Amino acid sequence: MFFRNCTWAFLLMLVAAAAQAQDTAAPPSRGYTIFLRGTPIGREDVTVRADASGVSIVSQGRMSVPSSVTTRRAEVKYSPDWAPLAFTLDATVNGGDVTAISTFTNTTVRTIGTQTGSPYSRELPISPQTVVLLPSSFFGAFEAVSRRLVNAPKGTELRAYVVPQTATSIKLLSSVSERIQVGKDFFEVVHIEAVWQIPSTGDLGLSITAMKDGGLVRLTVPSQGLDVVRADVAASTSRTQVFSNPGDEAVMIPGLGFNIGATLTRPAVAAAGTRLPAVILLAGAGINDRDGMSHGVPTLGQLAGAIARAGYLVVRYDKRGFGQSGGRAESSTLVDQAEDVRSVVKWLNERKDVDPKRLAVVGHSEGAWVAMLAGARERKLAAVVSLAGSGSTGSELVLDQQQKALEQSTLSPQDRASRVALQKQIHAAVVSGKGWEGVPANVRKEADTPWMQSVLTFDPAKTLEDVRQPLLFVHGALDHEVESSNSERLAEMARKDSKSKSVELVVVRGVNHLLTPAVTGEVKEYESLDDRTVSKDVADAVNSWLAKTFAAVK
């Protein structure tokens, strides 16, 4: 989606735990790489033992930011029916020892330990079969979540205890079968979408990839830019095949100093030697895989199939620094992403099966901004399509989305006002480089990035001034993440200020920001959507406009 949170709530729940002798006959461990915004920040080695006595999960590892954390040993044990039995951890945080031991009954948990030399004791009521988590230094603990949810029905809710004193819950939104490609080999997995409901910090979306037996492959917190990935899957030769169409072909496209991992989707029927029109698809903020998976909807994957069936060759790709694409995500800006589009255009121009005069770029959400930038910079593009794009500046958009979130919160008016003031201070500091006084260090670390600066300073009106290509703006009438009035504003700007001679607007009734049919279109409705298919009306609007636009190309 458009706005990526500037805080890393995952790492604000840091505590630690006590040492325990290592098992002498432990199963082989699995290594995981921890990424923040695409940058490796640590590693964790996890050993899971599951037998008639229950399940134990043991971990050790290191992490460098936002604190220096060394986990010498973390362990959680469960009975065969998933009742928690014990938790221990022995760690060092910024050079200080931190320990904890948790003991459980059916109704309570008691944790004792020390934190940087100070002892503490906590007791909390819990529910039976609670999962035990320590999300700042024991990501392997999510193995219990993946094992519990991998075959669970939609709507299943797990109670979760965050050591040492927070009771939370995790609700299953959806689960779909996928394939992960490592090199040329594939293996079957399940992709789980869930929401972690945390009273102190609000809800966090979770994406979990698990083996069919529930073994943890990948844990992603999209809003925080956090990825914990099994080492073999984290390799540059691997990618998750979230969605596939007939005619899909995996390709590598030369970029600016790195390769771009992509999928080419061909029409089912095309005469030999025919040069086809081609379409490049772009995802929104925080959606980094080529299939555009969000809330169980592979938006780009489904669009690729629908557009290819209309006779077009379609390209979708992993963003730089993710999946099979090289490059560095942490320094990527909107302009950098537009340059990646230009690399794809160059590659398409050199293909014998592509008509170089009929190339289009279609961007969804933030991808619409990138599509406009690419159109302004690349004259070889013949058409630009915006799907659910924003007509506000980046700074206005972020504040608007924050306001919507605050309106649905239980915070007092004073707390709301202080958060808005802090957000405005952060915006000014990101743009000017000054005025960070009073901003928490971890918030600054997440906000003070090239990407955030490029978003906050982006003005679609200025970009549209340099767009010459025909423009189509499509928006769902029920979009409440980026209201449909945004596309009306974009179309008005384009007609007034751009160099385009053709500007069209289509507002599709009954469609939300995910481009799927909806009843209310509110974000909270996403988890209960029965139809997770991109609306045929959206695809038809794009296809019919492309046919008309390309017919005029000579």
Q: Are residues 296 and 266 in the same domain?
A: yes
pLDDT number for residue 499: 94
Over residues 506-545, the pLDDT tens digits come to 999 999 999 999 999 998 898 788 888 999 999 999 999 9
Q: Are residues 423 and 364 in the same domain?
A: no
Q: Which residues of 415-434 are buried (b: 16+ CB within 10 A; e: fewer)?
A: ebeebeebbeebbebbeeee
pLDDT number for residue 115: 84
For residues 314 and 304, is the Cβ–Cβ distance under 8 A? yes
Grouping H, G, I as helix, E, B as strand and the rest as coil, residue 241 is strand
Matching residue, tokens 């003031």: 421
In a domain, 167, yes or no: yes
Grouping H, G, I as helix, E, B as strand and the rest as coil, residue 146 is helix
pLDDT number for residue 185: 67
Give the residue from 206, 236, 266 where a domain finishes. Answer: 236
Structural domain range at position 415: 395-453
Parallel, antiparallel, or unpaired for β 276-282 and 297-298? unpaired
Cα torsion for 424, 426, 428, 434, to the nearest 10°? 140
Q: Which residues of 59-68 are buried (b: 16+ CB within 10 A; e: fewer)?
A: bbbbbeebee
Q: Are residues 221 and 320 in the same domain?
A: no
Q: What is the DSSP letter of 189?
A: E
Q: Which residues of 184-223 are buried (b: 16+ CB within 10 A; e: fewer)?
A: eeeeebbbbbbbbebeeeeebbbbbbbbeebbbbbbbbbb
Q: Report d(CA 554, CA 552) in Å as an integer.
A: 6
Give the residue from 422, 438, 453 where a domain finishes. Answer: 453
Q: Are residues 220 and 76 in the same domain?
A: yes
Q: Are residues 283 and 296 in the same domain?
A: yes
Q: Are residues 476 and 517 in the same domain?
A: yes
pLDDT number for residue 488: 96
Q: Are residues 439 and 382 in the same domain?
A: no
Q: How far is CA 484 from CA 267, 461, 546, in A?
A: 31, 17, 21
Parallel, antiparallel, or unpaired for β 297-298 and 293-294? antiparallel
Give the residue from 236, 256, 289 where a domain finishes. Answer: 236
Q: Are residues 120 and 172 in the same domain?
A: yes
pLDDT number for residue 3: 39
Q: Are residues 258 and 320 in the same domain?
A: yes
Grouping H, G, I as helix, E, B as strand and the rest as coil, residue 546 is helix
In a domain, 4, yes or no: no
Q: Are residues 356 and 320 in the same domain?
A: yes
What is the DSSP track for 97-130? Answer: EEEEEEEE-SSEEEEEEEETTEEEEEEEE--TT-
Q: Which of 516, 503, 418, 554 is nearest to 174 (CA)?
A: 516
Residues in a beta bridge with 45 = 31, 60
Q: Are residues 388 and 402 in the same domain?
A: no
Q: Report d(CA 150, CA 153) in Å as an integer.
A: 9
In a domain, 21, yes or no: yes
Matching residue, tokens 């072909």: 249
Phi, psi (5° rounding) for residue 406?
A: -65, -35
Grouping H, G, I as helix, E, B as strand and the rest as coil, residue 211 is strand
Q: What is the DSSP letter of 3?
A: P
Q: Report d(CA 266, CA 263) in Å as an integer.
A: 10
| Residues of the chain falling short of pLDDT 70 | 1-27, 182-185, 235-242, 554
For residues 329 and 227, is the Cβ–Cβ distance under 8 A? no
Over residues 373-429, the pLDDT tens digits come to 999 999 999 999 999 999 999 999 988 888 888 887 778 888 889 888 988 999 999
Q: Which of 521, 554, 248, 539 is nearest to 385 (CA)?
A: 539
In a domain, 3, yes or no: no
In a domain, 261, yes or no: yes
pTM for this prediction: 0.65
User: CATH number, domain at 293?
Assistant: 3.40.50.1820
In a domain, 1, yes or no: no
State the DSSP H helix or E strand holding residue 342, giving kind and residue range, or none if neither. helix 334-349
pLDDT number for residue 22: 34
Query: Which residues are CB-neighbours of 534 under 8 A, at least 6 positions away?
Result: 297, 299, 302, 303, 306, 514, 515, 516
Q: Which of 537, 551, 463, 460 is nearest to 506 (CA)?
A: 537
Q: Report d(CA 21, CA 67) in Å as an integer.
A: 26
In 185-264, which residue ranges form alpha helices assigned H by DSSP?
A: 231-234
For residues 126 and 168, is the Cβ–Cβ distance under 8 A? no
Q: Are residues 67 and 196 in the same domain?
A: yes
Domains contained in the chain, number: 3
Q: Which residues of 510-529 are buried (b: 16+ CB within 10 A; e: fewer)?
A: ebbbbbbbbeebebebbbeb
Grouping H, G, I as helix, E, B as strand and the rest as coil, residue 148 is helix
Q: How far is CA 48 from CA 76, 136, 216, 452, in A?
A: 10, 19, 10, 39
